[in-house]
Each structure stands twice: as structure tokens, then as C-alpha cells.
Structure 1
Amino acid sequence: MRDVRELTASPVRLVKRHRDPVVVQTLRSAVAASLAYVVALRLSPEAAPLTAPLTALLVVQVTLYATLTNGIRRVNAVVAGVLVAIAFSMLVGLTWWSLALLIVASLGVGHLVRVDEYVPEVAISAMLVLGVTTVGDTAWARILETLIGAVVGMGCNLLLAPPVWVDEAGESIEELARRVRQLMLRLGEQAAGRTPVEQAAAQLHEARRLDHDIVQVDADLRQAEDSLRLNPRVREGLLHRVVLRTGLDTLEICTVVLRVLARTFTDLAKERHSQPLFPPGTGTAVERLLSEIADAVVSFSVLVTTDVSHSAESAEERLSAELRQAATSRDKLAQLLLDEVQRDTRHWQLHGALLTEVNRIIDELDTEHRSRRLFEELDRVSQEQRRRRPRLTRLRESVRVPERLRRNRGTAAGRSR
């Protein structure tokens, strides 16, 4: 059985390695640069047209959206730099002071044409063109090679389509949810027994380290969002982006509340010294409640990352059942804490903070709250797109109207029959 697991694990690791962004970027960039050099050798007057493969190397990105945007910005940067160099060669030529003015002018033009990270490329292109004797031939050759590299890089994205990184982002979100679950379970175990201050403080530091995990998951999600943009293989890309983004926002809020909860346990451990954090019955209730909330966090991540309707419905039902059970356990714990406060009022603030924190997590995971959050985010993104691209929005609406009319006519015809 062990040999079978090892044999099946090897292909899985191989597939994951081939879908690794570093591997994908390396292979696609090498292919694009080689093709660009071959094409430039035939079309460019230069003996070694290295600008074309350099452009292709910089243009080809992990996602189609990043490739298109980088290609357009790089072409703009090179053309702007060449034009600035031609103007300087006609007016002043190359001297130490004209070189300084050239750099200042090129960087200023780069900001004006909005090439973002390619602003230094404007100055580099201008200096390379101005530094040769035959400015005209070199300028047009550099523009031609840049266009060849950009076209080949974009063409490679159409022939070697970049993968959609939604699954990888979903795995990162689920992994974050599992880490949150493990920490919640350990906090629950502390509540049911004797907890030294050092152990409670260690759990607090671990809760704070979840911020670094959020940063990594956010980077994976941004890559997935870029892979959904302008991708003809993806339908309803906006919905996928909003679902994943709002799901990560909810998990981020849960990690913040969990950090506050760990702080509450640490303060309670300092007050209790060598005594248990809670009486035996109350500690068991806290452990049960945190275990149920931990399971709900994982179910929420499964709901967020599931795109099949049937699986999503079952995940939503499971999440709702777990939240109902957690709410019941919370009410029982609230009564136990009330009885404890009536006997001893010294730690009533910490007991109240515990209830407030678990209530916040339950409310954030609630399915109705999530539905409202999704609708609000979809409306916000749609309004931003209308304001940013009014002409494209009007074109889409004009195309959708005949489709709706045809659907309505077909429905009416079916009913009349």
C-alpha cells in the first residue's frame, strides 16, 4: 500500500510542479524570447537584434491580462524613448549636459505616457539610440524589434494559453482556514485545562503570525484575479473574483478576531496564575464552542472555493448547520459565564470579551451576511466598471437587449403552443 501511495504521489507532484508559476513563467518566457529573436533576424537590419527577445522576455507574464498590459506599456516606453532621442540628436547631440537633460526629459515623458514600472525603459531607450552615430536607422530598428518582441510575446499567450490560477488560490484559502482551525482547537484545549502564561502567549504570537499567511494568500488571489481577466476560457470571471475576494476578506476578519481572542486568553491566564482558565464545566463548553466554530471556518472556505452548484449547496447546508449548532453552544456558554460572574465578578470583562469575539466570528460566517456582502461588492464593481468604461458598458447593454428579446419571444412562443 505504501508503494502505491508513492507511485500515485509522484505524478501529483509532477503536475503541481508543471503548474507552478515559476516553471510556467520560465518555459513560456524562453519560448517567446527564442521565437522573437528568430523573427527579428529576418526583419531587423541589426546583426544581433537582441531588443526583440528582451522585449518578449519582459512582456510575457504568468497571466494573459498581465502580458497584455505589460506589452502595451513597454511598447509605449520604447517609442517614447526613441522619439525623445531623435529630438535631442537633431537639437544638441550627445554631451555630458545633454545626457543629463535627456534622462530628465525621458523620465518625465515616461510619467506622462503612464508606462508605470517601465519609466526607466524610456530613458534607457533614449540613451541607447542617442549613443550611436546613425540615429535614424537605429531608432527605427529598435522600434521594429520592440514591436516584434511584443507581438510574439502576446502571440505566445494565445498559442500557449496561461493557466487559470483559481484552483491554486482556492487551495491557499483552504490552507489558511485549516491553520485557523488548528489554532482554535488549541485555544479550546487551553480553556479546558491549566494553561501557563507562557503557553497562552505562544498561542497569541501564532495568531499574530497569521497576518503573514494572509499576505501570501492575498498575493495568490491577485494572481488568480489577473488570470480571470480578458481570458476567453473563463465565463463569469467577475463573479469568481468577487466570491474569492470577499471570502478572503471574511477570513481576514476572523483571523483578527482570533488574535483578539488569543489575547483575551493570555490576559485571563495572567489573572488566574496556576488555576484553570475556567471552571471544569465552563471550560468544556468553551472547548466545544471553539471546535464547532473551527469546523465552520473550514466549511466556509470550502463554500468559497467550490464552483460546482451541487457541491456549493451541500457546503452551504453544512455551514448553516454548523453555525446553528455553534449558536446553541454559545447560548449555553453565555448562561454558564453569567452564573460564574454572579459568583465571582473579578473577571467579568474578559468573559464578556470572549462572548463578543465568538459572536463576531459567527456573524461573519453567516450565509445571509455573506450573500448581502456579495451583492454589495458586485454592485460596487459594476458601478466602477461603468464609470471607468462608459462606452464599453453601453455597447454591452446594446448587445444584451436583443438577446433578452429573443429569449422572451422564445418563451412566449413555447407557452402559446
Structure 2
Amino acid sequence: MPDARKSVQNAFARLVRMRTDPVVVQILRSTAAATISFIVAERLSNEAAPLTAPLTALLVTQVTLYSTIRLSLTRVNAVVTGVLVAVGFSALVGLAWWSLASIILLALVVGRIVRAGDFVVEVAISAMLVLGVTQVQVESTAWTRVLDTLIGAGVGLLFNFLFIPPVWVGTAGESIEGLARRLRQLLLRVSDGLTGSTAVETAAARLHEARRIDQEISEVDAQLRQAEESLRLNPRVREGLLHRVVLRTGLDTLEICTVVVRVITRTLTDLAKERTDEPLFPPDTGAALEGTISRVADAIVSFAVLVTASVSESAERAESRLAEDLDGARREREYAAQLLLDVVQEHPRQWQLHGALLAELDRILDELDMEHRSQRLMEELDRSAREQRERYPRLTEARARARRASRRSRAAWEARRAAHRERTGNRR
């Protein structure tokens, strides 16, 4: 009986997670938008099976509101352009192989001119479909296709405004944390072999793993771009720019750390090739380096948790944990550096690899440093604000005027309030 109750609870928990999962939500939104657009098109369009409307709704109902608006305008632009090209062309010639080739060429060129983007081919498709009907049906077919496209785009836009797409920050945050944890596991495996003899094959395998993690950054970057788009024009988010900058700079830092970790594995592989029959380091030096790398690995995860923390209390705990990990890693690093110096002075073989290993660990610690991160955040915020002012000067000026008007209104209200208090005091 308890097992059955537990199974029911687990099934209910999975169902709740599915209802809030962004992928499931997007599937349901796309299906509903396409169905509604087909129902509307059946009532308004003259076409027997107005499938262009649900097709357009499927294409424009994207995972973010910004993408939906952009694709809606682009697709409508492409279809209208193709129809206009076909209407003008059909008034001169009929359908033949040379006229078909001519209209495809013309439509593709015009599509580039009007900046149809990914829907350049849609311009040629619309032109061909309209050209393929008889001269009597050209006008009816042309405007029916435009109407169906407008219905699909309109329903898709309206659906996204009424049912705002999910914010994909959580998914991007999970990817960033997953990347940091894979780096940590790799560093822990690297540190395990420092006190003994390491086979060249083992060191090379860790180098290949570091390269694989480096290649995975492109996937995390794609998810982060999707999260950044989900923050644009989204009324659920008030400080979208800050969220985007925090996540983007955090991923940039982890990308640098990934590259440095790959270089560390390269250094240790070269060292293993030179010391095939002996330990990489003396026992005490290897233990100190193992402790340093372990604390660096913990600091990378703490940094990722800090970057993706959405609640202020969680961010404070993550920041405190990161500070402790960085302090511990620096202490371990100084101790390991002194031991390495003694080893190099006694046995100066491959001294350059010892120095490279310390320099690589220093680079990671510098990238994870909180002062360095704060400075970079301010620089990115200033750069983003400057680019927005340069790109939209009129909007920036309008916002500045609105802020000045708000400050004047606030000052006038404060003055009236002070005068009222003074009059009230005098009466008393």
C-alpha cells in the first residue's frame, strides 16, 4: 500500500513538472495556435482548405515573443512581396518553363532586396503558386493567400501576447551549471593522478575529454541565446538587460576556464610523456597540487551557482561559498608553488611545465575573482546601454524626456506637500 501511494505521488509530480516544462508548453502553444488559425481561416477565407493559415501560425509561434514578432513580420513581408511579383508578372505572360524560371529568379532577387531573411524562398513559392492558376483566378488566389498568411500571423501574435511564452532562463542556467559540474569532475580526475605515476594514455584521455567539453560550449551558447531572446519584450521580466548580461558574462568566464582546463590537461600530458617510469611530482608536492586543483574545481561550480542564482538569498550564499573556495584555492596554490620551487631548484627538469601549470591555475582564479567579475559586469552594462543609445537615439531621447518630466512632477508634488504642511502648521 505505501508503495502504491508513493507511485501515485511520483506520477503526479511528473505530471506537474510536465505542465511547467518549457518544451511541453511550447508544443501545446504551437498546436493550439495552428488549430485556432485554421478555424478562423475557414470562416474568413474563400479557399476550401486554408492550410496556409495554420502553417503560418506554426512558423511564427516561436519559443520567445521576440522571435514570434520578428518572424511574423518577415513572413508577411515575404508572402506579400511574392504575390505582388506574381500579379504583375501574370498580367504580361502565362505559365511556361521560361516564365517560371524568370519569376523564380525575379522573386529571389526581390526577396533579397526587401530583406525577407529566412523566408526568401517563401517569396518565390508564393509567386509560383499564384502564377500557376488561370488568369481569371490570379487576383482571387493572390489575395486569398495574403489573407490566410495574415490570419496565421495574427493568431500567432495574439496567442503569444495572451499566453506569453515561457522564460528560458532556467534551462540556460541548468546548462551553465551542468557545464561547470563537468569541468569539476574532470579536474578531480586530473588531480587524482598527481601523487603517482600517470600513464600517457590516461593523461591523453583526459585531454580528449577536455576537448569534448570545450566543444559542448556551443550547445550551451545556443540555449543561452534562446534565453536572451525570451527576455526581450517579455512583460514578465523587468530587468531583462541585467539578466542577459549576468548570464552572458558568466558563460564567457566558464568558456575561458574550459580553455584553460584543456591547457592544463595538455601540460600534464606532456609531463607524463617525460616521466613515464616515475611519479609526476613528489608526494608532498602532488598532494598540495591535488588540494589546489580540487579547490579550483569547487570554485568553478560555486561561480556557476552564483551566476544562475535568481533569489537574492541564494546569491548571497553562493557568493559566500565562492569567496571561501577562492581563498582556500589561493592558500593551497601558494603552498604548492613553494614546494614546486624547491623541486625545480633540486631537479630542474621540465621546469617550464611546472611554471605553466601554476600560471594556468592563476588564470582560472583571476577569471573567477568577484572584483574582476563586478568590473566586467559594469563594462558590459555600459557597453549595452551605449549601443542602445546609438541604435535608437529617438527612443533614448524620449525616455530621457519622460524621466525629466517625472522628476519635475515629483518635485512639484513635494513642493505642494511642503506648502500644505506649512499652511497646516500655521493654522495650528
- Structure 2 length-normalised TM: 0.92
Please say if 1:236 is aligned against 2:239: yes
Q: Which moved more, 1:154-163 or 1:251-260?
A: 154-163
Specify every segment of 5 or more residues in structure 2 that has no aligned partner in the other structure, as ranges.
Answer: 422-428
Q: 1:323-334 to 2 correspondence within 5 Å?
A: 323-334=326-337
Q: Which residue of 2 aligns with 1:314?
A: 317
Deviation at 1:137, TM superposition (A): 1.0
Amino acid aligned to 1:216: E
Match of 1:361 among 354, 364, 389: 364
Please say if 1:256 is aligned against 2:234: no
Q: Which residue of 2 aligns with 1:272?
A: 275
Q: Which moved more, 1:258-267 or 1:183-192?
A: 183-192
Q: Deviations over 1:366-406 (max 9, x none)?
A: 00110111111111111221222222222222222233445
The answer (yes or no) to whether the contact 2:197–2:276 under 8 Å persists in 1 is: no
Q: Which residue of 2 aligns with 1:211?
A: 214
Amino acid aligned to 2:76: V
Distance in structure 2 (CA, Å) of the matches to 1:367 and 1:174? 18
Change (3 A) 1:321 1:7: farther
Please say if 1:341 is aligned against 2:344: yes
Q: Deviations over 1:133-170 (max 9, x none)?
A: 11111111111111111000111112222111111111
Distance in structure 2 (CA, Å) of the matches to 1:185 and 1:414? 65
The answer (yes or no) to whether the contact 2:164–2:234 under 8 Å persists in 1 is: no
Distance in structure 1 (CA, Å) of the matches to 2:7 and 2:282? 48
Q: Deviations over 1:223-259 (max 9, x none)?
A: 1111101101111001001100000000000000000
Distance in structure 2 (CA, Å) of the matches to 1:301 and 1:89? 60
Q: Which residue of 1 aligns with 2:180?
A: 177
SS of 1:91's partner is coil
Please say if 1:74 is aligned against 2:57: no
Deviation at 1:407, TM superposition (A): 5.4
Match of 2:285 among 270, 282, 287: 282
Q: Which residue of 2 aligns with 1:196?
A: 199
Q: Deviations over 1:19-67 (max 9, x none)?
A: 5554333221111111111111111122221111111111111111111
Q: Which residue of 2 aligns with 1:34?
A: 35
Cα RMSD, aligned residues only: 2.1
Change (3 A) 1:409 1:207: farther
Q: Which residue of 2 aligns with 1:370?
A: 373
Q: Which residue of 1 aligns with 2:392?
A: 389
Q: Which moved more, 1:153-162 or 1:283-292?
A: 153-162
The answer (yes or no) to whether the contact 1:187–1:262 under 8 Å persists in 2 is: yes
The answer (yes or no) to whether the contact 1:306–1:312 under 8 Å persists in 2 is: yes
Please say if 1:142 is aligned against 2:145: yes
The answer (yes or no) to whether the contact 1:94–1:131 under 8 Å persists in 2 is: yes
Deviation at 1:359, TM superposition (A): 0.2
The answer (yes or no) to whether the contact 1:24–1:62 under 8 Å persists in 2 is: no
Please say if 1:111 is aligned against 2:112: yes
Amino acid aligned to 2:31: A
Distance in structure 2 (CA, Å) of the matches to 1:324 and 1:411? 49
Distance in structure 1 (CA, Å) of the matches to 2:13 and 2:412? 50
Deviation at 1:15, TM superposition (A): 4.2
Distance in structure 1 (CA, Å) of the matches to 2:300 and 2:209? 17
Deviation at 1:4, TM superposition (A): 8.0
Amino acid aligned to 2:285: T
The answer (yes or no) to whether the contact 1:293–1:323 under 8 Å persists in 2 is: yes
SS of 2:91's partner is helix
- Structure 1 length-normalised TM: 0.95
Amino acid aligned to 2:198: T
Distance in structure 2 (CA, Å) of the matches to 1:192 and 1:79? 70
Q: Which residue of 1 aligns with 2:85?
A: 84
Distance in structure 2 (CA, Å) of the matches to 1:368 and 1:263? 29
Q: Which moved more, 1:13-22 or 1:130-139?
A: 13-22
The answer (yes or no) to whether the contact 2:22–2:166 under 8 Å persists in 1 is: no
Larger Rg: 2
Q: Which residue of 2 aligns with 1:45?
A: 46
SS of 1:73's partner is helix
Change (3 A) 1:58 1:398: same
Match of 2:162 among 159, 162, 170: 159
The answer (yes or no) to whether the contact 1:77–1:110 under 8 Å persists in 2 is: yes
Q: Which moved more, 1:1-10 or 1:294-303?
A: 1-10
Q: Which moved more, 1:402-411 or 1:233-242?
A: 402-411
Please say if 1:65 is aligned against 2:66: yes
Deviation at 1:18, TM superposition (A): 3.9
Distance in structure 2 (CA, Å) of the matches to 1:415 and 1:298? 54
Amino acid aligned to 1:341: V
Amino acid aligned to 1:349: Q
The answer (yes or no) to whether the contact 2:72–2:157 under 8 Å persists in 1 is: yes
Q: Which residue of 1 aligns with 2:424?
A: none
Please say if 1:223 is aligned against 2:226: yes
Distance in structure 1 (CA, Å) of the matches to 2:395 and 2:4? 57
Amino acid aligned to 1:98: S
Distance in structure 2 (CA, Å) of the matches to 1:240 and 1:246? 10
Q: Deviations over 1:266-312 (max 9, x none)?
A: 11111110211110000000110011111111110011001222321
Deviation at 1:215, TM superposition (A): 1.5
SS of 1:191's partner is coil
